[in-house]
Amino acid sequence: MDEQLQKIKQDFLQDLKTVKDNLQLEELEQKFFSRRSGEMTEIMKKLKDLSVDARKKFGKLANEVKKELEDILIEKQIELNNQLVNKIADTEWIDITQPKLPVKDRGHLHPNTIIQNDLEDFFTSMGFLVLDGPELESDYYNFTAVNIPPTHPARDMQDTFYIKDHGPDSDSPWVMRTQTSPMQVRAMQKHGVPIRAIIPGRCFRNEATDVRHEHTFYQLEGIVIDKNINFSHMKGVLEAVAKHLYGNETVVRLRPKFYPFVEPGVNGEVTCFLCKGAGCRVCKNTGWLEIFGAGMVHPNVLREGGVDPEKYQGFAFGFGLTRLVMLKYGIDDIRNLQNGDIRFLKQF
Ligand code: FA5
């Protein structure tokens, strides 16, 4: 027993030399003092099997060794903790008198997001909901539900990227949505009528890109359905938006345009923000800039949305949000907005 105690003490001191941190110290403690299998614990358990005299002799010795090793453990722990505190103090410190460092390269919102946020606030103040819709849209919602059946020639004007074998409805193709208009029907189906909502979002078209056309761009759709809504309500809202964006002197011009999902449909232009109507490079000398399509929602679209066209009517509009941004900031090439050139984006 005496020899066993001496051996444990030697092993303990030997192992202690390799201990570098609290984790290793804990492992050492477990090895010798764990309740179930610690080497010191095992010796203490064996004491009960000794004769009374032997127990008196070895019991005293075992307790002394045990106490000695426990004290060494505590000392080592204090030493390690002090080392840790000193290390932190050496490497990490706070100088509370140091002036604040200048922030380098702080990020900011993309111009598109700035205008979207601004319009969301503006429409919310007029009682509109702000809704979100899927960018990957079913062929049905993107086209058929908004009165563009499969054989309709209007589909040619909005070619897009088709997705094969998409989920449970894979017998009907899915598309990267070409417009935010599918949300007219989704909004009526989900929220019912009366409804006032805008839906900003990304759209995709298979385009030959140029300074005004991108394959990926943003639109901002709007829909208002209620009893006794008429064309002048639509004109009032669209004029309010144009004046909000480009100033009180801005005039809105509506000209007839065919969109299958509205009747009548219009193309909306505003006086050029640069030349105020006199004619310039930005408006191609016309004095007008096209910024939206709009019209009174077609009865077929109301029916798709579950709304009775004999009781309700309303209007919808679709701003080219990316174009609004271009006009607001005088950006002459749409492609700058998403080519990731930081020198361009830093200007906003
Ligand atoms: C539509 O997309 C209709 N959904 C708008 C609408 C909504 C009409 C509700 C009536 C009622 P259009 O294809 O004209 O219409 O596009 C609307 C606007 O999106 C355009 O005026 C233009 O500003 C913008 N736009 C269209 N294609 C592109 C493109 N490739 N790149 C950038 N902007 C585009």
Answer whether 127's CB lies under 8 Å from 196's CB.
Answer: yes
Q: Are 184 and 224 within 8 A, CB to CB? A: no
Q: Name the token pair of 182.
A: 């599918």
- If pLDDT is split at 50, 70 and 90, which confidence band does 157 have? confident
Of 147, 259, 262, 296, the one to substitute when testing ligand 1's pocket (max ligand atoms within 8 A of C-beta) is: 259
Query: Residue 249 has what pLDDT?
Result: 87
Domain ranges of the chain: 2-91, 111-345
Residue 169: its pLDDT value, please? 59
Average pLDDT over residues 256-271: 95
Please tell me which residue, 107 or 261, carries the higher pLDDT value.
261
d(CA 316, CA 321): 15
Mean pLDDT of 227-249: 94
- The count of C-alpha atoms lying within 13 angstroms of the C-alpha of 64, restricted to the half-sphere facing its C-beta, is 9
* pLDDT tens for each residue of 264-302: 999 999 888 778 888 887 788 898 988 999 999 999 999
pLDDT band at 168 (very low <50, low <70, confident <90, very high): low
Residue nearest to atom 21 of ligand 1 (CA): 292
Residue 323 burial (C-beta neighbours within 10 Å; 0-12, 13-18, 19+)? buried
Chain segment 28-86, per-residue pLDDT in tens: 999 999 888 889 999 888 888 888 888 888 888 999 999 999 999 999 999 998 988 88
313 ligand 1 Cβ < 6 A: no
Please tell me the distance between residue 228's alpha carbon and the centre of ligand 1 in angstroms: 27
Pocket lining: 315 vs ligand 1, CB cutoff 6 Å: no
Give DSSP secondary structure letters for 248-298: TT--EEEEE---TTEEEEEEEEEE-TTTTTS--TTTTTSSEEEEEEEEEEP
Q: Give the list of residues 6+ apart from residue 71 with CB closer than 8 angstroms, or none.
A: none
Homologous superfamily (CATH) of 111-345 is: Bira Bifunctional Protein; Domain 2 (3.30.930.10)
213 CB within 6 A, ligand 1: yes
Which of 112, 152, 292, 328 should be mutated for ligand 1, with most atoms under 8 A from CB?
292
pLDDT at 93 over 80: no
- Give 170's pLDDT tier (boundaries 50, 70, 90): low
